[in-house]
A and B are shown apart, each in its own frame.
Chain A
Amino acid sequence: MKDTVTFEIFRYDPEKDKEPYYDTYKVEIRKPGMLVLEGLNQIKWELDTTLSFRRSCREGVCGSDGMNINGVNMLSCIVKIEDLKTDHLIIQPLPGMPVMRDLVVDVSDFFEKFIAVKPYLIRKSPPPDKEYFQSPEDRKKLDGLYECIMCGCCSSSCPSYWADKKYLGPHAILRAYRYLADSRDEGMDERLRILNDKHGVWRCHTIYNCVEACPKELNPTEAVVKTRRLLLDRDF
């Protein structure tokens, strides 16, 4: 195990910097399996207090710390430095999203697109006194969909999302499909109308970047394809 690893980090403060630059830090490896986030905290708390980034749960479920590490989007809190198989890390903010400061990006567009697909249970009929019936088989259809943590790694890895500012992106489509696949939901028509658009599921070029980027190993491309099938089978 190497004693130190170089972290080369994207820096930008719009209040004082005309353009972005990179700062380089020597991070000490203090234990086997040390995580990238632990390296960033070491910089923040010991080497350069001015570095800004987002993080919270530090266990891969809150989705705060999506960033681009050596060209790949990932969560800094669940990636071991040793697994990156290099002693030089280049860390950048998530691509395709406006940079606010250092590694912090503006996620408003990402959230707006999520909101646009009506990501909630739609019911027309009144609820029963007890829970809705849902068989274990129907519940299983939500596995691989509901675990999304909204980190943005997928959408920000998608060239269609970069190029088409109106494209919903893989995250929003995965979310929409989570409800399309829910046996309790009665909102299929209205949700499909939103997705059936050149900026909706038809914009995806199935290059699978989102699948590779997803830290939870979910498959947004599959959600796109399944939604297309639903659209082809349906008369509006």
Chain B
Amino acid sequence: MSKKINYHKFDVIVLGAGGAGLNAAQITSQKVKTAVISEVYPTRSHTVSAQGGICAALGNMEEDHWIWHMFDTVKGGDYLSDQDVCEILCREAPEKIIELEHIGLPFSRTKDGKIAQRPFGGHTAEFGKRAVKRACYAADRTGHAMLQTLYEKSIEQGTHFFSEFYALELLTNEGAVNGVLCYDIQNGGLHIFHAKAVIFATGGMCRVYKTNSNAHINTGDGLALAMRAGFSWSDPEFPQFHPTGLYGAGNLITEAVRGEGGYLLNSKGERFMEQYAPTIKDLAPRDIVSRCIQQEILEGRGCGEKKDYVQLKIDHIGADVIMEKLPGIHELSLIFAGVDCTKEPIPVVPTGHYQNGGIPTSPFAEVLNTDPTNNDEIVPGFFAAGEIAGCVHGANRLGTNSLLDIVVFGRIAGEEALKWADNNKIVSLKNEAGNFGVEILQKFANSNGEYTFGQIYNDMTEIMQKNVSVYRTEEGIKEALLILDQLSNKMENYRVSDKSNIYNLELVEALELNNMILISKAVANGALQRKESRGAHYRNDYPERDDKNYLKHTEASLEEDGKTVQVNYRPVRLKPLTVETFPPKARIY
């Protein structure tokens, strides 16, 4: 293991090269020296897998207003969203979509040459009266089209990329964030990136579940780095289960299938969502549809030999429409389920999909040191955007709001980091900067114990799926925590056989697994303490939402020992910036 640490100085560092990171870098790299650091080549980032669309109240197909969109987002989030952030998300959406189109995103079009829009779960007109066409899309490859367009734009701008660099430590000094220590996967080199501002855009963590729609890289590394550097994670107990993952594989089948007229069926051939959500039926938000599917399965109306999935029917809209608007779904269903969806229904189950919570941020993507009395302090030089940033989606994100999130807050993070870099000096590095990261790297690189990735990863994902997914109980969560502790201990007796400096995937996976166990503990601890049901968090033993006691954000952080997760709370910011608060109401669709 090489001991020399290479030093780089930049104005702004962007960690992560998905949609949020590239949007941020597009702004900063126009003016200041910017490094984009990513575990994979930018076009491999998980934004590429987003399918159905990105919403904005453009009103290209029918009347729409950003305030309706904001209402839907707040209600969809079961009132746990910070409403100031929601206002920015929805108000800025139309302008940001147009900016994306102007740099080349190949949106599908209306007959009159505008960006086409379609309905999506939980998006309504006139505050819940009917479904509305709000999701802009590029067939069912919207994320792919966006990521590549942004990457191509960054080429024009000459953005400086460090691809296949894995982050080991978030560097801080005197309360400010001032850099990142990274490991070069290609040759084993160590690098300190020292900067005035750091933007975290590291994505999600749903690889902790057995059934998930996520890429191999979605291991929550950014969340773990932030927690180890002393920052908190808001609402960890709210990973979203997307209702329609392909049975057996977990891959995403976009909600756009239902937006284009598809619907769910149980083994009796009943369109069961009509009973659960009479107004918008199959286009109810994801948490609700996921629970309904699980309920149908639990009550014996699942399909197949094991009665453990439901069916998603789409063939009735016609093969031509499917091939034009949902070609990727056709391909995925064929490969992963052996089903031709132009002729037969797709077998689906809920799949771990998205982290609704994240690092607490202001409406301007500034990371906050939160406070139980809402006297939050802005962390100097630290910004976060995208899936890793918290509190805009509340307890449950609406479909298409994630691509919007990465555009709106990616760009705002870029603008704010740029201002920060213009007005502030670089904070010097601590003498011990990077020591922790090097230590953890060497601990695993030199490890010669008993356990390897396969067994521990399998045990972790199984218990998280069984006890901390769609339905939860106190007993189940406690069992999960116990097993997670045992797995932590096994990490102390780990073995990495590969001692090479060159593309050592085994070492990277060890570091990721170490992070995932921490992440899982935070999810389980948050879930244990929240004795109510809200959005994606459903407790069988506390089935009602309890606004009196739990209309508040969980803040999970690490205790001094670096292992124990502690849970605190802070109030939800219910006051938007310029409009009236949407007060909590019963969530009926």
Contact = CB atoms under 8 A, between A and B. Distances in A.
Interface of A: 13-16, 31-33, 44-46, 49-64, 78, 80, 100-102, 104, 107, 111, 115, 118-121, 123, 127, 129-136, 139, 142, 146-150, 179, 182, 184-185
Instruction: Assign chain B's interface to a size class.
Output: 35 or more
Given A31-B248, A57-B48, A59-B251, A131 B107 contact: yes
Contacts of A15: 500-502
A184 B106 CA distance: 10
Interface in B475-526: 496-498, 500-506
Given A33-B338, A133-B113, A184 B98 contact: no
Contacts of A142: 106
Given A15-B501, A146-B138, 16 more contacts: A44-B506, A45-B454, A50-B506, A52-B506, A57-B44, A57-B48, A58-B215, A61-B49, A61-B328, A101-B502, A107-B41, A120-B104, A120-B149, A120-B153, A133-B113, A139-B106
Contact of B44 (A33, A46, A64, A118): A64
Given A58-B215, A131-B114, A149-B144, A64 B40 contact: yes
A185 B105 CA distance: 12
Contact of A56 (B46, B98, B452, B457): B46
A49 B144 contact: no
B61 to A, nearest CB: 13
A71 B336 CA distance: 24
Interface in B336-355: 336, 338
A80 B336 CA distance: 9
A102 B503 contact: yes
Contacts of B156: 118, 120
Contacts, number: 154
A149 B336 CA distance: 19
26 contacts: A13-B502, A15-B500, A44-B453, A44-B454, A45-B452, A45-B453, A52-B498, A53-B505, A57-B215, A57-B216, A59-B332, A61-B144, A78-B335, A102-B503, A120-B149, A130-B114, A131-B98, A132-B102, A135-B113, A136-B110, A136-B111, A146-B141, A149-B144, A150-B148, A179-B104, A182-B106
A45 B457 contact: yes
B29 to A, nearest CB: 14
A190 to B, nearest CB: 12
B331 interface: yes
Contacts of B439: none
B108 A63 contact: no
Contacts of B113: 133-136
Interface of B: 40-41, 43-46, 48-49, 98, 101-104, 106-111, 113-115, 138, 141, 144-145, 148-149, 152-153, 155-156, 186, 215-217, 248, 251, 328, 331-332, 335-336, 338, 452-454, 457, 496-498, 500-506
A119 B107 contact: no
Contacts of B452: 45, 49
Contacts of B153: 120
Nearest to A115: B155
Contacts of A13: 500, 502
B48 A62 contact: yes
Contacts of A14: 502
B216 A56 contact: yes
Contacts of A102: 503
B38 to A, nearest CB: 11
Contacts of A107: 41
Contacts of B501: 15
Nearest to B508: A52
A52 B186 CA distance: 11
A136 B141 CA distance: 17
Contacts of A46: 454
Given A56-B217, A62-B44, A184 B503 contact: no
Contacts of B148: 146, 148, 150
A127 B102 CA distance: 7
Contacts of A78: 335
A85 to B, nearest CB: 16
Nearest to A32: B338
Nearest to B95: A129
A146 B331 CA distance: 16
B109 A139 contact: yes
A210 to B, nearest CB: 18
A56 B44 contact: yes
Given A78-B335, A149-B144, A100 B186 contact: yes
Nearest to B453: A45
Contact of B504 (A33, A45, A52, A184): A52
A184 B400 CA distance: 25
A126 B141 CA distance: 28
